[in-house]
Chain A
Amino acid sequence: MSEPTHTLTAPDLAAPDPAAVKAEMLKIYPAKTAKKRAKQIILNDPETPPEIGANSRTIPGIITQRGCTYAGCRGVVLGPIYDILQITHGPVGCGFYAWLSRRNLVRPPAGSTNYLQYCMNTDMQEDQIVFGGEKKLTQAIREAYAIFKPKAIAILATCPVGLIGDDIHTVAKLMKAELGINVMAFSCEGYKGVSQSAGHHIANNGVFKNIIGLDDKPDEAEFNMNILGEYNIGGDAWEIDTLLRKCGIHVTSTLSGDVSYDQVKKSHTVMLNGVMCHRSINYIAEMMEKKFGIPWIKVNFIGAEATAKTLRKIAKFFDSKKLTDRVEEVIAQEMIALRPVRAEIKARHQGKKAALFVGGSRAHHYQDLFRDIGMEIVSAGYEFAHRDDYEGRKVLPTIKVDADSRNIEELHVEADPARFKPTKTPEQMEALKAGGFSFKDYEGMMVEMKKSTLVIDDITHHEMEKLIEIYKPDIIGSGIKDKFVIEKMGVPCKQLHSYDYSGPYAAFAGAVNFYREVDRMLTTKVWKYITPPWEKAPLASVELVHASKLGGAKKNGEAKAWRKAAAGGEEA
């Protein structure tokens, strides 16, 4: 099927000079702030991505997109496992804000309780700040167990817990012994690390130490894998699962989207890990490979082309003709439904401009969806990613571990003597690599972005305003805190954390949803109505919809006068 070619009506002469834009963004800052931000605003070079000052401290007083370590631990990897009863140890707020505010959709089987609908915390009061909160936490765990009888309990720390020195790990240990269920503690105080990313790492460590590997019985399946770093926002994990099932691939565990404690326990029994969000879960992928011999590959189910590429990559790994043929069949089938929609929407929006500032992988993945419909990415950046997510994992050895990162435990993992069973022999792995296959690799965002495009890490409110002013993007992908700032400026904004309560956007069916959603946002009449008619049209040309009704009264002086007034002084 031929698709309309790119036709830009307006000459691209006015394309802003990124270096000048950067200078303009930095101009207002105090010197120290400008110096730091300059390292986080980079003119891209896809050939050799320049170093970006990612995962560094947020500057006090600038308006940032970032959240805290607790949010990272409660929000991803650990948080969305629906049948672990999670107790936030601390004052009431942290647990309250994290309660159902991320869209980790779940369909628990009958008889299973979905604890995501509950917000449980110790509602710490001044007494516990002064005298310690361990006693209250212990009692809270006992009460939770008595009421709910969960399979497992997780305790999450908030800022004061670390400061007053509550030993939540000992409490967890004692409770585990007393109740006979898994009780685990996460020291994810908000002030640790520079963003939610530290919380992801802490959640990875805890889930790996306390859950993964507890059940050695694998699911019966010819091709068996986990999807890591997929949180089922708006049902994305279900789309991916459905697609893989069509191909004949079984997903044991999606970490963490619509996933149960029991599924996570046996997630080490698979043949392959596919990593969606590299930032939030590469730690578990690495540790599972070291301990159990499960190779990991980067996957991306966001965008039709990206999804097809990912399916082929997975098929290649499993090295089965049957699977490879099936994957091609599925791709062909899915593309039949997708192509006409994509072509229609592409025709309307080819050449339009998008900018993406969000998360730790979404600002990269969603570029593929916009490119699918011919749109251009004028600028992008993550909220909490590290250099490897921008520049690729090849820079890992050169990343300096600073004091904030050193705070977060690095687990020492060795091959499990009994359970280290590599899916592939070293020879097979080498053969795959020789055929162009890459393992444990993520090339990052920058290699896929155009030269000189602005890459902005942890974009500030001020920089966002400047960016909109100068680039005038047609749409921006961002989060809840920016959404209405952007839309007040007349630019539609797609929340890429919550999807604005729509979705799914993953895999082929999700891509179609996304194209349609972008189409809706770019064609909505709302933005066209911003200027009222009396501010844009010469008064004489104001359309009088009901003027004809006055026709019969033309001779009547009064009607004439009314008409004159309505037409702004010019008699029609």
Chain B
Amino acid sequence: MLDGTTAEIKPREALRINPAKTCQPIGAMYAALGIHGCMPHSHGSQGCCAYHRSHLTRHFKEPVVATSSSFTEGASVFGGLANMTQALSNIFTIYDPKIVAVHTTCLSEVIGDDIPMMIKKATEEGIIPAGKVVIHANTPSFVGSHVTGFASMVTAMVKYLSESSGKTEAQLKDEPQLNIIPGYIDPADMRELKRIIKEMGVKTVLFPDTSGVLDLPQDGRYRMFPSGGATIEQIKSAGDSVGTIALGHFASHPAAEKLDEKCNVPCALLELPYGLTNTDRFIHALRNHGGVDVPGTLGEERGRLLDAMGDMHQYFHGKRVAIAGDPDHVIALTQFLVELDMKPAYVITGSSGNHFEQRVTEILKDQAPEAIVKQNSDLFALHQWIKNQPVDLLIGNTYCKYIAHVEKIPFVRFGFPVLDRMGHRYFPGVGYMGALRLMEKINDALLDHKDRECPEETFELIQ
């Protein structure tokens, strides 16, 4: 397995091998699914849409619908206006969504299609029925990654939909509302954030929200537009909120800043609430900005997490860990591993952004200053470093399983995509309870590995 990967590291600048990222449009499609009644639309060749739908479906095992402008060579030469117009006509007639969220692809970007002009034209021609909305985000695949694509679509929601209604501060304070921009996390995580928010008793708008869209119960009925998702009205009202809590520098902060700029809504820019400290910060921010007290129930959850951290500390302490994934996820997870007294050794993301290296280095400066931290990296590079100096644990998406298998390293699946296990579809990783689950997975991976590999004399009943 991976027999071509050697410990010897040769110079490599042009060739990407085993990427730790994918392209912008899939992120835009995922974000769009977090709007209630939304049809994501891919403006380009239909292969993009097919690939994105397929991959999202493999991760969620749920219906993922989206449409495409289905470019052929003609559209690529003459522009995609006719395709877009026909697509919008078909989408509103056949599928009747409340909103269509268009994202571009490398194809339509290279030929320079002007989406706002197309939307304007379709509106004037009555192709977009009254009361229906079309928004767009530019997501060329040769810029950024799936994470920036997600961020661009969330920012587009703000640009197109959020408004300040002109209510006075006093009116707004009557029933203050907070915005939560959750980032590129799973529906189960969004559901958990909403549970925490409910416990706190804060009125919030969470967008995008894919819970209730991509984690549907089996009841024998298919609904193209299920009950979940942030409604257009909710996203609109985000402009009237007293504040925004945005989780993740890469996926969420751009939209929060846009909302501040557009509607003067102040924002707290936090990291994803993975682990103890980041959840503390999230809850603290909810408390401060929502003007509520933290209920004892959440304090108890925190206490149970901390209790487990103490109980099992010896199994985590000093373990060398390799982490690969999306920047917001990896930053927050690195923080949690530090809390567990683990030693991150290689910390990479496929996405680009200096903030990643700066932030991770800062988190590791006392505990693991020797760690290799790289943006714009890939799984091939990670594997070569592991071959040179091994680790005790690997954390990453499903693609990492080949490295784990061949190097016989305990492996915890985390992030996007997870294509071969089920837990992420139902159980959150965020919050104190999510942290417990992550911890359990790490602990199980380490101890299962020990039980499988250790000599008989150290095979122990009790750990």
Task: Enumerate chain A interface residues (CB-CB to B < 8 A).
Answer: 28-30, 32-33, 57-71, 87, 90-101, 112-115, 117-126, 128-129, 136-137, 139-140, 143-144, 146-148, 158-160, 162-164, 190-196, 403-404, 407, 461-462, 465, 479-481, 483-485, 487-490, 526-527, 530-531
Residues of chain A with a CB closer than 8 A to B45's CB? 68, 159, 190-191
Interface residues of B in 66-96 (CB under 8 A from A): 66-76, 83-84, 86-91, 93-95
Give 3 closest A-B pairs by Cβ, nearest first: A68-B47, A93-B23, A61-B87
Known: A159-B44, A190-B48. A143 touches B2 (CB 8 A): no
Known: A67-B50, A97-B54, A488-B63. A60 touches B22 (CB 8 A): no
Scoring B residues 175 to 190 as 1 if CB is less than 8 Å from chain A, else 0, what string do you get? 0000000000000000
**Once the chains bind, are B2 and A59 in contact (CB under 8 Å)?**
no
**Once the chains bind, are A531 and B95 in contact (CB under 8 Å)?**
no
Residues of chain A with a CB closer than 8 A to B91's CB? 61
Task: Enumerate chain B interface residues (CB-CB to A < 8 A).
Answer: 1-4, 6, 10-19, 21-26, 41, 44-48, 50-55, 57-58, 61-76, 83-84, 86-91, 93-95, 105-107, 110-111, 140-143, 145, 216, 218-224, 350, 380, 399, 402
Residue A59 contacts which of B18, B23, B65, B86 (CB distance < 8 angstroms)? B86
Residue B142 contacts which of A118, A129, A143, A531 (CB distance < 8 angstroms)? A129
Residues of chain B with a CB closer than 8 A to A137's CB? 14
CA distance A57 to B106 in the complex (A): 20
Residue B16 contacts which of A30, A120, A485 (CB distance < 8 angstroms)? A120
**CB closest residue in chain A, given B146:** A93
Residues of chain B with a CB closer than 8 A to A193's CB? 72
Known: A159-B76, A164-B110, A488-B216. A481 touches B51 (CB 8 A): no
**Once the chains bind, are A91 and B142 in contact (CB under 8 Å)?**
yes
Known: A101-B54, A159-B44, A481-B54. A121 touches B105 (CB 8 A): no
Residues of chain A with a CB closer than 8 A to B219's CB? 530
Residues of chain B with a CB closer than 8 A to A465's CB? 222
**Once the chains bind, are A159 and B72 in contact (CB under 8 Å)?**
no
Residues of chain A with a CB closer than 8 A to B67's CB? 60-63
**Once the chains bind, are A159 and B57 in contact (CB under 8 Å)?**
no
**Once the chains bind, are B18 and A481 in contact (CB under 8 Å)?**
no
**Once the chains bind, are B22 and A403 in contact (CB under 8 Å)?**
no
**Once the chains bind, are B90 and A122 in contact (CB under 8 Å)?**
no
**Once the chains bind, are A29 and B110 in contact (CB under 8 Å)?**
no
**Once the chains bind, are A160 and B17 in contact (CB under 8 Å)?**
no
**Once the chains bind, are A160 and B106 in contact (CB under 8 Å)?**
yes
Known: A28-B93, A66-B50. A143 touches B68 (CB 8 A): no
Closest Cβ of chain A: how far from B145's Cβ, in Å?
A: 7
**Once the chains bind, are B94 and A57 in contact (CB under 8 Å)?**
no
Residue A61 contacts which of B22, B58, B90, B143 (CB distance < 8 angstroms)? B90
Residues of chain A with a CB closer than 8 A to B224's CB? 461
**Once the chains bind, are B106 and A60 in contact (CB under 8 Å)?**
no
Residues of chain B with a CB closer than 8 A to A65's CB? 50
Residue A404 contacts which of B51, B72, B140 (CB distance < 8 angstroms)? B72
CA distance A114 to B62 in the complex (A): 32
Residues of chain B with a CB closer than 8 A to A32's CB? 86
Residues of chain B with a CB closer than 8 A to A191's CB? 45, 71-73, 75-76, 107
**Once the chains bind, are A67 and B70 in contact (CB under 8 Å)?**
no
**CB closest residue in chain A, given B82:** A60
CA distance A377 to B380 in the complex (A): 47
27 sampled A-B residue pairs with Cβ under 8 A = A28-B94, A57-B72, A59-B90, A62-B94, A63-B65, A64-B50, A71-B50, A91-B140, A91-B142, A92-B21, A97-B52, A98-B51, A101-B58, A113-B3, A119-B16, A119-B18, A121-B15, A125-B142, A191-B45, A191-B75, A407-B73, A484-B57, A484-B62, A487-B218, A488-B216, A488-B222, A488-B223
Residues of chain B with a CB closer than 8 A to A147's CB? 4, 6, 10, 12, 15, 17
Known: A91-B141, A126-B143, A143-B15. A163 touches B94 (CB 8 A): no
**Once the chains bind, are B16 and A159 in contact (CB under 8 Å)?**
no
Known: A61-B90, A192-B73. A140 touches B110 (CB 8 A): no
Residues of chain B with a CB closer than 8 A to A124's CB? 106, 142
17 further A-B contacts with Cβ under 8 Å, apart from A29-B93, A30-B90, A93-B23, are A33-B94, A59-B86, A59-B90, A60-B70, A90-B141, A93-B26, A99-B399, A140-B14, A143-B13, A159-B106, A163-B107, A163-B110, A193-B72, A479-B54, A484-B61, A488-B63, A530-B220
**Once the chains bind, are A68 and B50 in contact (CB under 8 Å)?**
yes
**CB closest residue in chain A, given B24:** A93
**Once the chains bind, are B145 and A92 in contact (CB under 8 Å)?**
yes
**CB closest residue in chain B, given A62:** B90
> A119, A136, A530 — which one has the most chain B CB atoms within 10 A of its CB?
A119
Closest Cβ of chain B: how far from A107's Cβ, in Å?
A: 12
CA distance A126 to B18 in the complex (A): 20
Closest Cβ of chain B: how far from A167's Cβ, in Å?
A: 16
Closest Cβ of chain B: how far from A219's Cβ, in Å?
A: 25
Residues of chain A with a CB closer than 8 A to B86's CB? 32, 59-61
Closest Cβ of chain A: how far from B292's Cβ, in Å?
A: 36
**Once the chains bind, are B141 and A93 in contact (CB under 8 Å)?**
yes
CA distance A192 to B107 in the complex (A): 12
**Once the chains bind, are A90 and B15 in contact (CB under 8 Å)?**
no
**Once the chains bind, are A159 and B107 in contact (CB under 8 Å)?**
yes
> A91, A137, A139 — which one has the most chain B CB atoms within 10 A of its CB?
A91
**Once the chains bind, are A126 and B23 in contact (CB under 8 Å)?**
no
Residues of chain B with a CB closer than 8 A to A64's CB? 46, 50, 68, 70
CA distance A58 to B91 in the complex (A): 14
**Once the chains bind, are A194 and B110 in contact (CB under 8 Å)?**
no
**CB closest residue in chain B, given A148:** B4
CA distance A485 to B62 in the complex (A): 7
Residue B69 contacts which of A60, A94, A160, A531 (CB distance < 8 angstroms)? A60
Residues of chain A with a CB closer than 8 A to B16's CB? 92, 95, 119-123
**Once the chains bind, are B22 and A96 in contact (CB under 8 Å)?**
yes
CA distance A87 to B72 in the complex (A): 23
**Once the chains bind, are B110 and A143 in contact (CB under 8 Å)?**
no
**Once the chains bind, are A60 and B111 in contact (CB under 8 Å)?**
no
Residues of chain B with a CB closer than 8 A to A117's CB? 1-2, 402
Residue A531 contacts which of B105, B140, B220 (CB distance < 8 angstroms)? B220
> B17, B55, B88 — which one has the most chain A CB atoms within 10 A of its CB?
B17
CA distance A403 to B57 in the complex (A): 33
> B4, B44, B76 — which one has the most chain A CB atoms within 10 A of its CB?
B4
**Once the chains bind, are B70 and A59 in contact (CB under 8 Å)?**
yes
CA distance A257 to B192 in the complex (A): 44
**Once the chains bind, are B143 and A125 in contact (CB under 8 Å)?**
yes
**Once the chains bind, are B15 and A122 in contact (CB under 8 Å)?**
yes
**Once the chains bind, are B55 and A97 in contact (CB under 8 Å)?**
yes
Residues of chain B with a CB closer than 8 A to A143's CB? 10-15
**Once the chains bind, are A194 and B106 in contact (CB under 8 Å)?**
no
Closest Cβ of chain A: how far from B126's Cβ, in Å?
A: 13
Closest Cβ of chain B: how far from A458's Cβ, in Å?
A: 10
**Once the chains bind, are B46 and A58 in contact (CB under 8 Å)?**
yes
**Once the chains bind, are A462 and B94 in contact (CB under 8 Å)?**
yes
**CB closest residue in chain B, given A120:** B17
Known: A57-B70, A159-B106. A484 touches B22 (CB 8 A): no
**CB closest residue in chain A, given B74:** A403
Known: A61-B91, A160-B106, A160-B110. A126 touches B142 (CB 8 A): yes
Closest Cβ of chain B: how far from A472's Cβ, in Å?
A: 12
Closest Cβ of chain B: how far from A98's Cβ, in Å?
A: 8
CA distance A485 to B225 in the complex (A): 12
Residue A90 contacts which of B18, B106, B350, B380 (CB distance < 8 angstroms)? B106
Known: A29-B94, A159-B106. A96 touches B70 (CB 8 A): no
Residues of chain B with a CB closer than 8 A to A121's CB? 15-16, 19
Known: A61-B88, A101-B54, A403-B74. A144 touches B15 (CB 8 A): yes
Residues of chain B with a CB closer than 8 A to A462's CB? 94-95
CA distance A196 to B13 in the complex (A): 31
**Once the chains bind, are B51 and A71 in contact (CB under 8 Å)?**
yes
Residues of chain B with a CB closer than 8 A to A158's CB? 106
Residue A139 contacts which of B14, B95, B140 (CB distance < 8 angstroms)? B14
